[in-house]
Structure 1
Amino acid sequence: MQDTVQTTPATFTAQEPAAVPDRTITYPLRNGSVLAHACPDWCIADHEGDLGGLLMPEDLRHEGKPAVLEFDTIEGTRERILDARIVQYPFASDGSEQPHMELMPDGGSGESTGWLSAAEFNAEIRRAQRHLTSLLHLSEQLAEARAVAHERFVAPGRLTGRGQPWLSLDNGDIETMPVDYLLRVFGVKVVEVDDDSRPAEQLAVLSGEPGEMTLSFKWCVPQVMREQLTRVELLKTRGVGRV
């Protein structure tokens, strides 16, 4: 006779779903009736202005949290270049009744581009990404231009303390100018070492004084990291620990 083992199934208790807050809002309408409508979970509007009894259904607007691109002006003020947020007019009949993206290229103007679907908004994102790539290229071009201008500036007779061209570089220049130019300005000789006695985390060591310096790398450090470490070590000469 074969032995059998009987097991009693454990009692399964279904977990209660998390309570979903009721986002239904009752809006007094202009004609004296009321409108009960559930606010979508992405909407951050408090709808305080909609509860005064002067609302028409087609004027009800839901809006999400904005993504804002800002910049600081030379006067010290902060301006908004681009605002983007999800918007919906649920009772409209002009195409805006579906959730759509609202873009305001000039955040201070209040003028929007219209009603963008997800596909249309993705096209705008790709356009912005291409613009960002162009800005990165311009940044590299600017760093090169500053290096050329600096080299002209430190020509003989143009700088007090001649022979110390590094004094007229600021931290931003060290963070961005071409590394080969920085090595020339600071008078840095680069060497590679195979020194097992050096701590593993000590990948680069800058020694000497500006004008006659030696920057030694462990042989295993790749070129891209060498450029970053060069900037870090040069910034240390200014009392700055990192880029």
Structure 2
Amino acid sequence: MNNVQPSTSARLRARFADEQAAARRSVDRAFPAVAAFLASEDAPQLTDADALDAYRKVYAEERTRVIKLLDSPGATLTVMCPPWCADDHQEDMTRGTFLEDFAHRGGEEALALSVDGGTEDVIVTEITQYPFGKTLRTPTVVMWPTLGMNAEAEMGPDEVRALAEQVRTYADALAETADELLKIREQGEARRRADHEGRWTR
């Protein structure tokens, strides 16, 4: 298995190529006259390198957050989220957070089982990193059980088989999470510093 994570530049080039192709298809369908002009020699010329550079700036802006810090009045921190972070950081930007409590989160992966006529999460995992914290400075999977002590379910053979299938599916999801975590860590210390480069402003 190849566990090497593509570089940010390679991912951006692939994303740029996909979106560029989609945009061209949309223009071809909706605005054929414009598409014909853009394909002509009279159209303004933009090299792929220039277009990719502009796209990089847009990508950086999409993932850049200005965090309100509670450590000092008026303090802020500008960070660019790593590609795996699924948190919009709205609460960090509006209500604020202490520097060591700021975290990137990859989105929860839960094992949900049928209990007492409903569903309840039994185990929840999530890739988490506190880049400026005392612990978890490296991306780590955090796991916590959530099933209540008094919850129970009565199961027959079919329900037990369904449970087994749910557990197998969750096991596959955990294996994928482990692969993703390995790829994230392989990016190394240099990438961590680049992704979390920020500064205090007063």
TM-score relative to the length of structure 2? 0.43
TM-score relative to the length of structure 1? 0.36
Q: Which has more helix, going by share of residues?
A: 2
